[in-house]
Structure 1
């Protein structure tokens, strides 16, 4: 399977978002961390088969905003 350059770059952005979300999840207490990671994974799986590049770009932007809000919320809670 050979990816076009644009597809490769989009895939890299999605993986970066996923890793970033998982890093943020480390701020959660251990009893809630597994649930948060499951939610993150499920969100990624729900859109795994999306082939519309505009939709993917929207999902990445939305994901970045949601991760930013999660990070700020956890920071406000002192985690």
Structure 2
């Protein structure tokens, strides 16, 4: 099944968010890194089959905010 342009762009945003979250997780302390990566992966898997465009937009916005907070938290901890 071919993706529409809108679906393709949304998919690209989701993948970009996922990659960004994984990059930031590299800075986590060694004892927390594996758990953090698992949480990120699980969040993506939990919403993998979501087809509601409005919910997807919400999840992307929420994900961006959560990744931003994670980045700030790791900065404050000196990682």
User: How would you bin the TM-score normalised by the shorter chain?
Assistant: over 0.9
1:31 CA drift (Å): 2.1
* Alignment correspondent of 1:19: 19
SS in 2 for 1:66: helix
* Alignment correspondent of 1:44: 44
- Equivalent residues in 2 for 1:1-79 (5 A)? 1-79=1-79
| Unaligned stretches of 5+ residues in structure 2 | none
Q: Determine the C-alpha separation between the residues in 2 that align with 1:69 and 1:76.
A: 10
How many residues are treated as equivalent by the alignment? 79
| Unaligned stretches of 5+ residues in structure 1 | none
Q: Determine the C-alpha separation between the residues in 2 that align with 1:31 and 1:70.
A: 16
1:30 CA drift (Å): 2.0
Q: Determine the C-alpha separation between the residues in 1 that align with 2:42 and 2:24.
A: 16
Pairwise CA RMSD of aligned residues? 0.6
Deviations 1:5-55 (A, max 9, x none): 000000000000000000000011222111000000000001011000010
